[in-house]
Amino acid sequence: MDIERFDPIGDPKYTMRISRLTIDKLGIKLYDRVSAVLAELIANSYDADATEVSVSLPWGVTLAGTVRSAEDPQYRIVVRDNGHGMSAAEVNAHYLMVGSDRRLRTGSDLSRERGRPVMGRKGIGKLAAFGICRTIEVITAGSSPADRRPQGWAVSHLVLDIDEMLSDTERDYHPRVGELDGTFTTHRGTTVVLRDFYRKRVNSGPELNRQLAARFGIERTDWRVEVHNSAVAAQAESFILSDLPVDVMEETRVDVSTRPVRSGRQYLPVTGWVAYSRQPYRDEAMAGVRIYARGKIVAQTRDFDIASGFTGEYKLRSYLVGAIHVDWLDDEEDLVRSDRTDIMWNSARGEALAVWGRELIREIGRMGERSIRRRVWEEFRERSGIQATVDAIAPNDRLFRDSVLEAARILVANKDRAALDDRSHVENIVRLALSLGPQRSLLATLAEIAGESDQGLDTVVALFERARVAEMYSLGQIASERVAVVDRLSRLIDDRRSLERPFQELIESAPWLLAPEWTPLGMNESLTRVRAGFERWYAQKFGQTLVTSSIGSRKREPDFVLLHDSGELWIVEIKRMDYHLTDEEYNRAINYLYALDTYLTENPAIGTQFPRRRLTFIVDHIDRLRPASRSSLDSDARIDRRTWRELLDSTLRAHRDFLERVYAMRGVDEDPAAGRQAV
C-alpha cells in the first residue's frame, strides 16, 4: 500500500456495543473448525463485492500447542480482498454492530456495487474467528468512490481481543487502534489477520480445498479465491477455490430444476442435481446432498430423514451425493440456523423440502441400486476371472457353470466396489460360489430325475430331502447361529446393568456384528499369532502388558479386542451401556492404533496380510470428549463410533437381508420371519 498518515482524534474512534452473552453464545461456540471460519471470512469478501480474495495460512499443522523454535514467527491466518472496503463510520455502524440484520439495516438483499445476493444476514459471522483465535486484526479502506480524497482512501485499522472484550459485560468495548489507522491508501479492500490461536488443526491442502469448495456453490466469472500455504517458504503452493469435483454414475444423475417443491399452494424453485457416486465417500465434505442458499451451504443430508424400507436403503447413505440450490430458505423468512450447519426442518417450508427430498430418494434409490449391482458384478467378473474358472472346471456342464455364477452374483449383490480391492476377499467369494453352486445344481438334477426316472417317487423324494439337508447345513445353520447371537445382544442391551465383559466376549466370538456380511468368507488363521506377536512387541517396546482378547484371559480385562475382516485389523474399544467415554480413554485407544501401525511396519511379512487398520468405539456417550478429540473422531476415516442401539439396529437389518438372500438362493418363496423359526 502507498500510505500517508494524518492525526487521529483524541476520543476513542471505534466503539462496539455488544453483550458478553452475544459473543459467547452466538459467536465463539458456533465455529470451532478452521475451514468454517475461513468460509465466513470469504463470504464477507463476497458480500463486499470483491473479485479477488487471497487466503494465507499454514497447511497441515496444529495452530497452537506445537513445539517450535523461539526464532520462528508465530502462525497467522490472513484473508485479503479487493472489495469496496469500509470507512471509519461504516466500521462503527456496520462491522462493530453485532447481531443486526444486514438486509433490514441496508434496505436491500443485494451487494451495493455488483448486485450480488448477499450471504450475510444475522450480523454474527464476524465473530466466527473467535472460535479459533483470541485476536482479530482488521485493516480496511474504501467505501464508495465518493469517499476518496486526493491522498486516496482513509485506512481504518483496529485490533479486537477476546479477553479484553469479555472483561466487562456492561460497558462499550473499544478495540485498540492499529498503527495504520488514519493513513491513506490508493487501493480499496479489507485485510483480516488472525493470531493467538487455540489448539486447532489445519487440514492438508487437498482436504482444505474439498472443505471450502463444499461450503460454496457460486458460479460467477467475477469471483476468484486463491488459498496459499504459508508453511512452505521456499516454493509457492496454493489452490484456486472451485466447484467440488464429484465422480458420479451419470445414469443416476437427476436434474432437479424441473422439480419444484410444493409448499401449500406455492411451487418453490430448486436447481442443482442429485446422483450416486462411483465410489462410497466417507469424507463428510463429499458425502450426501449439500443444500445451498445464496451460494453458501446451509445444510447437508444423507437421506432427508427418510424412514427405512425403501429400495437401495443400505447403499444409499454411502453413495448419495448432490448439490441443490434453495434460495428461499434464506429469503423473506430466515430458516437457516445461526451456525449455518442446518436449516429449520420443522418449519412449513423445511417440512415441504423434506417431503420433496424423500420422494427423490425413493426414485434415485431404485436407480442407484440397479447401477451399483451391475457395476459391482461386472467388476467382480473381471477381477476374479470366475468365468474362466468355471469354464475350465466344467466345460461341458452348463447347469453347473450357471449355478456357480448365480451364487457368485448373490454373494456380491450387497457389496460395494471398495470391497473388491481386497484380493483375498474376492478369492474367498469365488471359492464359496464354487462350493454352493454344485448343491443347487444337484437339486435341479434331482428335480429332473423326479419327472423322468422309473424309480419310485418315494426314493427320489428321499434323495431330494438329503440334498436339501446338505444345503440347509451350509446356509441355514449360519442363520440360526446368528439369530441366537442377535437375541443375546438384545438381552444384554435391554439389561442396562450388564458389564463390559459379556459385551466383549460376544463381539469377539461374533465379529460379523461389526461388519455384518450375510455369509462367512473364511477366517484368517494367523490372527492368533498376530495377537501374541503384537502383545510381546508392545511389552518390549513400552514395558507394559497388553491384552487384546476377552477369551481365555479371565485374570484380567482386555485393553481392547483385536479382530480382523478380510485383510483388515480392527481395534474395538467396548464400553458398557450408558458409558461416557473420557478424553483420556479416547487418546489411549488412538495410541494403540498408532502402535499397531508401527508393529506392522516393522514386521512387513505380517503387515502385508493386513494392509488396512481401523479403530471402532462402541460406546453410548461422547459428551466428555474435548473439541480436539471430537474433531479427530469426525475427520479421521479410520476411526468411528457406534452406540449399542445403533449396532443392534444395523445387525437386525443386515440379518433380515441375510435370510431373504438365503431363501432366494434356495429358490424358495418364504417369509423371512417364518424362516427364522424354521431354521
Cα torsion at 569, 575, 578, 580 (round to 10°)?
A: -90
> 320-325 and 561-564 as β-strands: parallel, antiparallel, unpaired?
unpaired
What residues does 574 pair with on adjacent strands?
Answer: 618
List per-block mean pLDDT (blocks of 10 residues) for the chain, which spans 679 residues: 51 66 58 85 90 93 65 83 91 78 65 80 73 92 84 92 77 88 92 91 88 79 89 78 81 91 91 86 75 85 81 76 87 68 83 92 84 86 90 79 82 75 81 71 47 44 44 50 71 73 74 54 58 89 84 68 77 88 92 91 83 89 89 87 82 58 47 38
Measured distance CA(101)–CA(143) in Å, rounded: 19
For residue 396, the model assigns a pLDDT of 76
Measured distance CA(424)–CA(568) in Å, rounded: 11
* Fold equal for 20-240 and 250-369: no
Under 8 Å between Cβ of 598 and 641: no
Measured distance CA(583)–CA(80) in Å, rounded: 37
> Which strand (E) or helix (H) includes residue 258?
none
Q: Count Cα neighbours of 134 within 13 Å in the Cβ-side half-sphere.
A: 10
pTM across the whole model: 0.57
- CA nearest neighbour of 376 among 336, 322, 318, 449: 318
**Residue bearing cell 446422483:** 275
CATH code for 20-240?
3.30.565.10
- CA nearest neighbour of 441 among 667, 162, 169: 667
pLDDT tens digits, residue range 160-188?
998 888 776 667 788 999 999 999 999 99
For residue 454, the model assigns a pLDDT of 44
Give domain limits for the chain.
20-240, 250-369, 370-485, 496-642
Task: Please state which of the four CATH numbers 3.30.70, 3.30.230, 3.40.50, 1.10.10 is assigned to the domain occupying 250-369.
Answer: 3.30.230
For residue 555, the model assigns a pLDDT of 60
Under 8 Å between Cβ of 522 and 411: no
Residue 563 burial class via C-beta count within 10 angstroms: exposed 0-12, middle 13-18, buried 19 and up: buried
pLDDT tens digits, residue range 383-415?
999 999 888 877 877 877 888 888 788 778 777
For residue 165, the model assigns a pLDDT of 81
Residue 206 phi, psi dihedral angles, 5° rounding: -60, -40
